[in-house]
Chains A and B, each alone.
Chain A
Amino acid sequence: MPKIIINNKEIEFEDGMTVLQACEMAGAEIPRFCYHERLSIAGNCRMCLVEMEKSPKPIASCAMPAAEGMKIKTNTPFVDKARKGVMEFLLANHPLDCPVCDQGGECDLQDQSLFYGLDNSRYSENKRQVKEKYMGPLIKTQMTRCIHCTRCIRFATEVAGIPELGAIGRGEDMEITTYLERSMESELSANVIDLCPVGALTSKPYAFEARPWELKKTETIDVMDAVGSNIRVDTYGWEVKRILPRINEDINEEWISDKTRYACDGLLKQRIDTPYIRENGQLKKTTWENAKKTLINKIKSFDPNEVAGIVGDLSDLEMIYSFKSFFNSLGSNNLECRQDRIYINPEERINYIFNSSIKGIENSDLILLVGSNPRLEASILNARIRKAYQKNNTKIYSIGDPGDLTYPYEVIGSNTSIIKLIAAGSHEISEKIKKSKKPMIIIGESALYGEAGRYTFETIKKFLFTNNFIRNDWNALNVLTQQASRVGALDLGLYSIAKNDNFSFFDKLENGLFKFIYLLGADDINFKKDDKFIVYQGSHGDKGAEIADIVLPGAAYTEKNGLFVNLEGKIQNAYKASYPPGDAREDWKIIKDLSKLLKKPEDYKDINELQKNIKKNITIKNNINLKNTESVEFIEKEISIKPIDYYFTNSIARSSKTMNECRRVKKKFLFTGIEKAS
């Protein structure tokens, strides 16, 4: 390996590294504004200047490739002077409004001017003024503060794949803006707020809410989609003020989607904070004792076969496990975690998880999407596919047309007959798949709908299996689930599948065989209420609570410790950042109390025992079962991608003002905003 001398210390570096990276390896800190590990190099802020031997001028270390035998110095008066000079220029036009700036306390410019800048200003002329720019309902702009690092432009163009940001004008008059100040059309747009090293782009919903040092920070897991992004929840007292990403290279890198970031204001609205009971057609407040007693008396009056339970999208494993053991002690097995007729085959774990893993997308050389729109179903995963496309020029095909995915792909059809052709080897794609080294087939929910879903899934699995693409080192079979609770619920066996009938639960539900339905945070299931007795346990007064006869107040995902399994099958710990409002309680405790009233107490005392039990019940090992499935009868069906109301997919998002606003802006944009040049 080549060697470089940094501050008289010789270190080895890898080919292709920049001087800045080498300096970091040597432990020399280099200030920077425009350089960012995950974006291309711009080299325009000049803050990373260092001294190189034999160069009369300081060099921009972020843009200079490291070379054998270079002698770099980062702590000389020469470098210090260069930094001070750059800092003085940056601050010449930067307003002195730190006291009223939301970035204050976590501002790169503030911190670096303290360490590397001058202690006074020699600039007495008028400062530049730039008008605010509209960038949508999430991003607040204060462009006078902008130092033109262009991180936001590079993020939008490279990572998000929506080249809508740009710099207009030049020199002193350069301004960052979207094209004609339209709102940014991306599910990842708010990440530019984190990227902005100054207070030019700040969060609109969080404006003037709190200072970073006043907030309690809790590192936890997101539940808005099945990706399980790692997040940090910042709370002020009870209130969740904001949500920021945490770095996890395997899952979300350092981005999160707008829904993850901004649905948190829904945690303050529409909350169920006390038990309710329906009297004369109206929900009336009641006590816990009364609600629990009525529930138990009611549930005992039905035959166990008439009692059913549905687990919602945001449930953690604790809820699901205790819910299941509660139903088992009742003697009922009518449990379901699906809220729609989506085909699943829970025999093996590889049948319902994303086997190639999110990180594995980068190694793939061919991706086939089947009835999936990853941009809306899992925005972070879509960013990975885009990264793979940019890095390796991965070929991407799709069955069904999902619209703009931020990277080019080829639609090869939108019917199950294409799958038949692929399996038979008579489609050109099947040859391409066979020739590729690490292909991926991503099956979305739209393709798994109904009986045709069985055909689609089993045929694809068989095709991959016979071509040896389901191996221990590479598994090309991927199911893209959309709900944070889905994989975990399947792991714990929350499904009712009769032999050869995947949807027996739904048939029974439609035929009115269930008289008592327990909705555990399930809001999205459609059925007729009729004379059914419905219990809703959850955090938000949404569709489920509307039809319920008893409403039990539960905790939202930021208000309890819990385990979540993401779509890859990774189990992650979520931690309590806040506490449930009013009389609301953690869900597993509610169910434990109910079991006690039923005189069949649960076999755990506290959360630690509960979690131990859960972990015992999940077999992580994805053993590949070599006995293969029999062929499934062909069903011809159109694979059309189900439209997703992105900002409205769960009860928290539906209660959020910000999500409502985003949805409104997007709709308006679709009606009037798109102009096409002929």
Chain B
Amino acid sequence: MSIKKISKVQPELFEFTSENLEKAKNEIKKYPKKRKASAVLALLYLVQNQNDNWIPLAAIRYVAVLLGMPYIKVYEVATFYSMFNLSPVGKYFVQVCTTTPCMIRGAKKITEICKKYISEEQNKLSENKICSWTEVECLGACVNAPMMQINKDYFEDLNESKTEEIIQKLLKDEFPEPGSVKNRKNNAPESGKTTLIEIKNA
């Protein structure tokens, strides 16, 4: 991982929607008045939600002014955390887990599909600028390997055909049903429950 590239194309202005501004104010309220800079992570996260998964420089300045921080301090935070993107990643941001359990269960095949359908390189937008993909380290769903994360949702127990289906849908600007593609609940056994059978909602 190297220093994040900052997009050359930047919007002139950024502003929270009234709904997000409300949320931001609630976040700021959680901290003492003198320490409102503590809300910077939460606010950057809100920015990313509002702005197709990436943070433009205008938003960094906007957050800095909102929290009374120097620009550079917000910029430091935004460059430090790998989950903040500083250049566009598309409306659908696909993160494929390639850490050992997923790798053993065939994550390589999934990245191949991403390469084929989305873009040849990581962090590069698809032709219709709607989607991009990247490899990430463990996302903590090893039981359902291989898996990937699209925006906030996990797609688990993937195989080649299902992945292809999901990606195709994304490229058509539709959001597929998240969760296990094998339709198992969370990480329950594939063949149904083996314990606590009597309890309905266990």
Give me the interface of A with B, judged by CB distance under 8 Å. 163-170, 173, 175, 178-180, 675-678
B4 to chain A, nearest CB (A): 7
**B189 at interface, CB cutoff 8 A:** no
On whether A166 and B65 interact (CB within 8 A), knowing A173-B3, A175-B3, A678-B15, the answer reads no
Chain B residues 41-70 with CB under 8 Å of chain A are 57-58, 61-62, 64-65, 70
- Contacts of A169 on B, CB cut-off 8 Å? 2-4, 79-80
On whether A164 and B72 interact (CB within 8 A), knowing A169-B79, A175-B3, the answer reads yes
**B73 at interface, CB cutoff 8 A:** yes
On whether A168 and B62 interact (CB within 8 A), knowing A173-B2, A175-B3, A180-B57, the answer reads no
On whether the beta carbons of A168 and B73 are closer than 8 Å, the reply is no
**B71 at interface, CB cutoff 8 A:** yes
**What would 10 more interface pairs be, CB under 8 Å, given A166-B70, A166-B72, A180-B57?**
A164-B72, A168-B79, A169-B4, A169-B79, A173-B2, A175-B3, A180-B75, A676-B65, A677-B65, A678-B15
Closest residue of B by beta carbon distance from A166: B72
- Contacts of B62 on A, CB cut-off 8 Å? 677-678
Report which of A163, A180, A677 forms a contact with B70, defined as CB distance below 8 A. Answer: A163
**B165 at interface, CB cutoff 8 A:** no
On whether the beta carbons of A165 and B13 are closer than 8 Å, the reply is no
| Bound Cα distance from A165 to B72, whole angstroms | 7
On whether the beta carbons of B61 and A166 are closer than 8 Å, the reply is no
On whether the beta carbons of A179 and B15 are closer than 8 Å, the reply is no
Closest residue of A by beta carbon distance from B63: A677
On whether the beta carbons of A166 and B13 are closer than 8 Å, the reply is no
On whether the beta carbons of A179 and B3 are closer than 8 Å, the reply is no
**B76 at interface, CB cutoff 8 A:** yes
Report which of A164, A173, A178, A675 forms a contact with B61, defined as CB distance below 8 A. Answer: A675
- Contacts of B76 on A, CB cut-off 8 Å? 166-168
- Contacts of A170 on B, CB cut-off 8 Å? 79-80
- Contacts of B57 on A, CB cut-off 8 Å? 180
On whether the beta carbons of A179 and B2 are closer than 8 Å, the reply is no
On whether the beta carbons of B61 and A168 are closer than 8 Å, the reply is no
Number of interchain pairs (Cβ within 8 Å): 47
**B9 at interface, CB cutoff 8 A:** no
29 pairs across A/B with beta carbons < 8 Å?
A163-B72, A163-B73, A164-B70, A164-B72, A166-B72, A166-B73, A166-B75, A166-B76, A167-B76, A168-B76, A169-B2, A169-B3, A169-B79, A170-B80, A175-B3, A178-B72, A179-B70, A179-B71, A179-B72, A179-B75, A180-B75, A676-B65, A677-B58, A677-B61, A677-B62, A677-B65, A678-B13, A678-B15, A678-B62
| Bound Cα distance from A370 to B79, whole angstroms | 43
**B202 at interface, CB cutoff 8 A:** no
- Contacts of A168 on B, CB cut-off 8 Å? 3, 75-76, 79-80
- Contacts of B15 on A, CB cut-off 8 Å? 678
**B199 at interface, CB cutoff 8 A:** no
- Contacts of B75 on A, CB cut-off 8 Å? 166, 168, 179-180
- Contacts of B4 on A, CB cut-off 8 Å? 169
**What range describes how many residues of B lie at the interface?**
20 to 34
- Contacts of B79 on A, CB cut-off 8 Å? 168-170
B166 to chain A, nearest CB (A): 32
| Bound Cα distance from A180 to B62, whole angstroms | 15
- Contacts of A676 on B, CB cut-off 8 Å? 61, 65
Closest residue of B by beta carbon distance from A177: B72
**B197 at interface, CB cutoff 8 A:** no
| Bound Cα distance from A173 to B4, whole angstroms | 10
A669 to chain B, nearest CB (A): 14
| Bound Cα distance from A173 to B15, whole angstroms | 30
**B196 at interface, CB cutoff 8 A:** no
Chain B residues 9-39 with CB under 8 Å of chain A are 13-15
- Contacts of A165 on B, CB cut-off 8 Å? 72
- Contacts of B3 on A, CB cut-off 8 Å? 168-169, 173, 175
- Contacts of B65 on A, CB cut-off 8 Å? 676-677
Point out which of A163, A179, A180, A678 has the most chain B C-beta atoms below 10 A from its C-beta: A179
- Contacts of B13 on A, CB cut-off 8 Å? 678
B58 to chain A, nearest CB (A): 7
Closest residue of A by beta carbon distance from B15: A678
B60 to chain A, nearest CB (A): 9
| Bound Cα distance from A294 to B4, whole angstroms | 71
B42 to chain A, nearest CB (A): 18
Closest residue of B by beta carbon distance from A153: B72
On whether the beta carbons of B64 and A677 are closer than 8 Å, the reply is yes
A179 to chain B, nearest CB (A): 4
Closest residue of B by beta carbon distance from A163: B70
B78 to chain A, nearest CB (A): 8
Closest residue of B by beta carbon distance from A169: B3
| Bound Cα distance from A170 to B65, whole angstroms | 24
A429 to chain B, nearest CB (A): 25
- Contacts of A677 on B, CB cut-off 8 Å? 14, 58, 61-62, 64-65
A176 to chain B, nearest CB (A): 10
- Contacts of A164 on B, CB cut-off 8 Å? 70, 72
A169 to chain B, nearest CB (A): 4
B79 to chain A, nearest CB (A): 4
Closest residue of B by beta carbon distance from A178: B72
| Bound Cα distance from A175 to B76, whole angstroms | 10
Closest residue of B by beta carbon distance from A164: B72
Closest residue of B by beta carbon distance from A157: B70
Closest residue of A by beta carbon distance from B75: A179
Closest residue of A by beta carbon distance from B62: A677
Closest residue of A by beta carbon distance from B82: A170
A481 to chain B, nearest CB (A): 33
B152 to chain A, nearest CB (A): 24
A172 to chain B, nearest CB (A): 9
- Contacts of B70 on A, CB cut-off 8 Å? 163-164, 166, 179
B13 to chain A, nearest CB (A): 7
| Bound Cα distance from A175 to B3, whole angstroms | 9
On whether the beta carbons of A173 and B73 are closer than 8 Å, the reply is no
Which 7 A-B pairs give the minimum distances between C-beta atoms? A166-B72, A163-B70, A677-B61, A168-B79, A179-B72, A677-B62, A169-B3
Closest residue of B by beta carbon distance from A675: B61
A125 to chain B, nearest CB (A): 16
A675 to chain B, nearest CB (A): 7
- Contacts of B14 on A, CB cut-off 8 Å? 677
| Bound Cα distance from A185 to B72, whole angstroms | 13
Closest residue of A by beta carbon distance from B4: A169
Point out which of A163, A168, A170 has the most chain B C-beta atoms below 10 A from its C-beta: A168
Closest residue of A by beta carbon distance from B71: A179
Point out which of A169, A180, A677 has the most chain B C-beta atoms below 10 A from its C-beta: A677
| Bound Cα distance from A186 to B72, whole angstroms | 15
B84 to chain A, nearest CB (A): 12
A108 to chain B, nearest CB (A): 25
| Bound Cα distance from A675 to B61, whole angstroms | 9
A182 to chain B, nearest CB (A): 9
- Contacts of B64 on A, CB cut-off 8 Å? 677
| Bound Cα distance from A342 to B94, whole angstroms | 69
- Contacts of A175 on B, CB cut-off 8 Å? 3
